[in-house]
Amino acid sequence: MNFSAQDVKALREKTGCGMMDCKKALVDADGNMDKAVDLLREQGLAKQQKKASRIAAEGVAFATTTDDNKSGVVVEVNAETDFVAKNADFMAFVETVAKTILENSPADVDALMAVKAVGTDMTVEELLREKVLVIGENIKIRRFQKFDGACVSYVHAGGKIGVLVNFDTDVADKDEFVTCGKDVAMQIAALGTLYLDRNDVPAEVIEHEKEVMRTQVINEGKPEAIADKIVMGKIKKYYKENCLVDQEFVKDNKMTVKQYVDSVAKSIGGTITIKEFVRFEKGEGLEKRQDDFAAEVASMV
């Protein structure tokens, strides 16, 4: 070997590429640093790593299930601009990622990157690198959630929100069940539902809400003696607004979501219980790129 660990480190700092890619390039270049840089550039790796430093907070939240509805996945894949979300090549990549998760059940994103992408001879990481070079934007697989068991998925506004709902049911093959599941998923997407039921709400959240509500009640001039009773009434309202099974069903506010699901189950002679759900909103919690056109022109001048 005609190079040292320090050479690998120096090449990594110069190109931004991974340690193993840098080591392989130095091996292929017989330790020649400049030739190794050229090799990485020729492979597109240096270019890909440069793009990887750019902010990716757009993209899509995508959800899908197997044909028999017996498992499902929701995944968020980010890109730099909203325009890319309409790119057919990008969406094909997102769907491939989702199918790969369904077939392989990786533990996390790191494990997913090492799995061979469905329908290809490449790992997901290799396929992602290829898409970065072809599409010309930084792309990142941010997160995913897979459920096994009866699932229904829903994607809102072309990928702004992805929802996956997992049910315990003996009528998963019925069209009425799928329709019911879509209605529940749409409710979650529209209302930004936080919890499944009251047991899901963390105790510290309720305590915080009680403190805020009690202060509000006292500031409104209500006597402290009755403040706690008023707060308990407000907490019940909090549950109704934030817990899925207690929420008013958006298509018929005369019943709760649970009552709606129970009514569908009864009509088709089966049982349907909502077990869990996940809602991904594209870019939530991520820093967005701020474009300053005037500054960009000034820097060019």
Task: Say which residue, 143 or 36, is predicted with more confidence.
Answer: 143
Instruction: Give the chain's domain count.
Output: 2
Q: Average pLDDT of 271-295?
A: 79
In a domain, 141, yes or no: yes
Distance, in Å, from the CA atom of 35 to the CA atom of 49, rounded to the nearest integer, reads 18
Whether residue 142 is predicted with pLDDT greater than 50 in this model: the reply is: yes
pLDDT at 2: 75
Is residue 239 pLDDT above 60, yes or no? yes
**Rounded-to-integer distance, Cα 252 and Cα 227, Å:** 33
Give the model's confidence band at 297: pLDDT under 50 very low, under 70 low, under 90 confident, else very high.
Answer: very low
92 domain residue, yes or no: yes
Q: Is residue 38 part of a domain?
A: yes
Exposed / middle / buried, residue 167 (Cβ in 10 Å: 0-12, 13-18, 19+): buried
**Own/partner long-range contacts of 127-131 (Cβ < 8 Å, ≥24 apart):** 127/93, 127/96, 128/93, 129/44, 129/45, 129/48, 131/89, 131/90, 131/93
Residue 201: Cβ within 10 Å count: 18
How does residue 105 score in pLDDT terms, banded at 50, 70 and 90? very high
- pLDDT at residue 19, rounded to an integer: 75
One domain, residues 42 and 67: no
Based on the fold, state whether residues 74 and 34 are members of the same structural domain. no
Whether the pLDDT of residue 293 is over 50: the answer is no
User: Hey, is 261 helix, strand or coil?
Assistant: helix
- Residues 64 and 46 reside in one and the same domain: no
Residue of higher predicted confidence among 184 and 297: 184
Asked if residue 83 belongs to a domain, the reply is yes
Q: Are residues 29 and 70 in the same domain?
A: no
Mean pLDDT of the chain: 89
Dist CA 75 CA 60 (whole Å): 8
Task: Tell whether 87 and 28 lie within a shared domain.
Answer: no
Judge if 95 and 151 occupy the same domain.
yes
pLDDT category, 15, cuts 50, 70, 90?
low
Residue 257 lies in a domain: no
**Is the confidence at residue 80, as pLDDT, over 70?**
yes
71 and 145, same domain (yes or no): yes
Tokens for 93, please give them: 């990549």
Of residues 20 and 131, the one with the higher pLDDT is 131
Q: What percent of the chain has pLDDT over 70?
A: 89
Q: Which long-range contacts (C-beta less than 8 Å, at least 24 apart) are formed by 214-223? A: none
What percent of the chain is predicted at pLDDT more than 90?
66
What's the pLDDT band for 291 if we cut at 50, 70, 90?
A: very low
Q: Residue 49 has what pLDDT?
A: 54
Structural domain boundaries, residue 108 = 60-167
The answer on 100 and 43 residing in a single domain is: no
> Tell me, what's the pLDDT at 16?
62
DSSP state of 66: -
- The pLDDT, as a whole number, for residue 25 is 87
Amino acid at 101: I
pLDDT confidence band for 63 (50 / 70 / 90): very high
Mean predicted confidence (pLDDT) in 240-265: 97
Domain-terminating residue out of 119, 140, 167: 167
**159-189 pLDDT, tens digit each:** 999 999 999 999 999 999 999 999 999 999 9
Is there a domain that residue 213 lies in?
A: no
Residue 72 has what DSSP assignment? E
d(CA 277, CA 275): 7
Query: Is the per-residue pLDDT at 135 higher than 90?
Result: no
Q: What pLDDT is recorded for position 120?
A: 96
Same domain, 9 and 98: no
Between 99 and 24, the higher pLDDT residue? 99
What is the mean pLDDT of the segment spanning 265-294?
Answer: 84
Q: Is the pLDDT of residue 95 over 70?
A: yes
* pLDDT at residue 249, rounded to an integer: 98
Task: Mark whether 128 and 33 lie in a shared domain.
Answer: no
Residue 301 has pLDDT above 50, yes or no: no
**In a domain? residue 235:** no
CATH code of the domain in which 23 resides: 1.10.8.10
Q: Which two tokens stand for residue 271?
A: 């049982």
Is residue 112, in this structure, part of any structural domain at all? Answer: yes
Q: Could you tell me if 42 and 104 lie in one domain? A: no
| CATH number for 128 | 3.30.479.20
Q: Do residues 12 and 91 both lie within one domain?
A: no
Band of the pLDDT at 207, cuts 50, 70, 90?
very high
